[in-house]
């Protein structure tokens, strides 16, 4: 395990934060591009040896502190019989329909169909240096379902207006699938598992806060206490009273907003915070990126890191496909240098 990541999980303040990015193993990276010339995306995900090679590539090249399972959030939808392919993004041959909520999906079937992820985690752990950490991930329940229903591009969703079958698919099917998937990843060697729930921004605020998040808390967060980190683009999650988030017993949260990060970082809490450089800034030509990077570091100089209980220096979303590798390399090295000087 990476010592800095261990400190983050334990809530131990430290001068230099661990660094890793969502989508750090992906299309911006020449190592990944070379593999994609030989293999399809599905082959890279579903062949544990190849998934291991993809996951380890950026660790060896950029020296991130944490590796993440190489996979995709949408594979659980194949359990419903959806025809899923990638070109390069997800393409569906069919979508969820009324009546699909009546299908029976056994625990054995979940374990069998998603075992490639567990195998990839186990192999990745063996391949990683001892001083690197490894995390897993799943998609958020609503985010996965929004793809399966073909509603991922809609601004706001009133679940009650879609039909009763939607809530049954969400709570009676996807929650048990994700619970088993998280259990499998943790048992295979993931130190924590992230829930990436980008599309939960579609849900109405009151439904999101009063019902949806409470269901996730009771079914997933509290089942795997201090083993889950949560990411949503629904800013109302981060605007709650900190005590409510503390009660969720999360390992951490990925802060997705553009403002209020420092205040959130300095709040008294018992979970780590991950963020908050912009992927769009990392994408810019180098000189423009450097300008944004300096503003980012300057803004953090007001934060007393000796009192911050846990921070992972990262982006507020995933690395964009055309991001210059030199920017990534500079960011990692410069953050370590800047914060060592602040110590």
Extended strands (E) in 208-288: 228-232, 252-254, 272-277
The residue among 45, 42, 55 whose CA lies nearest residue 87 is 42
Give the mean model confidence (pLDDT) for residues 32-58.
98
Q: Note the pLDDT tens digit of each residue in 175-233.
A: 999 999 999 999 999 999 999 999 999 999 989 999 999 999 999 999 999 999 999 99
Q: What are the angstrom distances between the C-alpha of 242 and each of 151, 239, 249? A: 31, 8, 12
Domain that holds residue 242: 26-270
Checking if the pLDDT of 332 tops 90, the result is yes
According to DSSP, the β-strands at 193-197 and 228-232 are parallel
- The CATH number of residue 155's host domain is 3.20.20.210
Give domain status of residue 234, yes or no.
yes
Virtual torsion, Cα 161, 163, 164, 168, nearest 10 deg: -110
Structural domains of the chain, count: 1
Give the mean model confidence (pLDDT) for residues 16-38.
97
pLDDT at 278: 97
Q: What are the angstrom distances between the C-alpha of 212 and each of 1, 203, 294, 318? A: 33, 9, 38, 24
What percentage of the chain carries pLDDT values higher than 90? Answer: 89
pLDDT at 258: 80
Give domain status of residue 306, yes or no.
no
pLDDT at 300: 93
The residue among 32, 16, 43 whose CA lies nearest residue 323 is 32
Separation between Cα atoms, residue 185 and residue 190, nearest integer Å: 6
Q: Note the pLDDT tens digit of each residue in 223-260.
A: 999 999 999 999 899 999 999 999 999 999 999 988 88
Tokens matching residue 227: 């083993």
Contact 237, 221 (CB under 8 A): no
Element (H, E) at 314: strand 311-315
Give the mean model confidence (pLDDT) for residues 297-313.
92
Greatest mean pLDDT among 122-136, 292-306, 328-342 lies in 122-136
Checking if the pLDDT of 74 tops 70, the result is yes
Contact 219, 162 (CB under 8 A): no
Quickly tell me which residue has 């403002």 as its tokens: 259
pLDDT at 343: 60
Separation between Cα atoms, residue 15 and residue 336, nearest integer Å: 9
- The 10 Å CB-count burial string (b at 16+, else e) for 168-193 is ebbbebbbebbbbbbbbbbebbbbbb
Q: What are the angstrom distances between the C-alpha of 290 and each of 62, 177, 333? A: 18, 43, 13
Separation between Cα atoms, residue 320 and residue 161, nearest integer Å: 34
Checking if the pLDDT of 160 tops 80, the result is no
Give domain status of residue 302, yes or no.
no
Sign of the four-CA dihedral 336, 341, 342, 343: positive
Among 94-98, 112-116, 156-160, 314-318, the range scoring the smallest mean pLDDT is 156-160
φ/ψ bin of 311: left (φ > 0), alpha (ψ from -120 to 50), beta (otherwise): beta
């Amino acid at each position: 395990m990476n010592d800095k990541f261990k400190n983050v999980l334990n809530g131990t303040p430290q001068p230099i934060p661990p660094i890793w990015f969502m989508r750090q193993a992906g299309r911006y990276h020449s190592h990944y591009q070379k593999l994609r010339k030989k293999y399809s995306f599905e082959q890279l995900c579903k062949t544990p040896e190849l998934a291991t090679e993809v996951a380890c590539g950026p660790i060896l090249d950029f020296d991130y502190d944490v590796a993440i399972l190489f996979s995709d959030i949408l594979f659980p939808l194949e359990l419903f019989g959806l025809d899923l392919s990638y070109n390069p993004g997800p393409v569906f041959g069919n979508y969820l329909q009324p009546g699909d909520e009546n299908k029976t999906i056994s625990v054995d079937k979940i374990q069998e169909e998603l075992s490639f992820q567990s195998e990839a985690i186990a192999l990745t752990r063996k391949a990683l240096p001892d001083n690197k950490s490894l995390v897993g991930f799943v998609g958020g329940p609503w985010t996965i379902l929004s793809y399966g229903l073909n509603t991922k591009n809609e601004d706001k969703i009133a679940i009650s207006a879609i039909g009763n079958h939607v809530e049954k698919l969400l709570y009676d099917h996807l929650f048990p699938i994700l619970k088993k998937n998280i259990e499998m990843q943790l048992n295979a060697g993931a130190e924590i598992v992230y829930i990436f729930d980008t599309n939960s921004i579609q849900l109405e605020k009151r439904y999101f806060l009063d019902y949806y998040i409470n269901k996730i808390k009771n079914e997933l967060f509290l089942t795997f206490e201090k083993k889950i980190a949560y990411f949503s683009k629904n800013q109302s999650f981060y605007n709650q009273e900190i005590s409510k988030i503390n009660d969720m017993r999360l390992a951490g949260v990925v802060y997705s907003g553009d403002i209020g990060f420092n205040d959130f970082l300095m709040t008294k809490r018992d979970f780590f915070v991950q963020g908050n450089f912009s992927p769009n800034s990392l994408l810019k030509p180098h000189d423009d990126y450097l300008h944004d990077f300096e503003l980012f570091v300057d803004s953090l100089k007001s934060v007393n890191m000796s009192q911050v209980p846990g921070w992972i220096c990262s982006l507020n979303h995933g690395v964009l496909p055309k991001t210059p590798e030199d920017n990534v390399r500079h960011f990692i090295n410069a953050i370590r240098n800047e914060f060592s000087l602040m110590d």
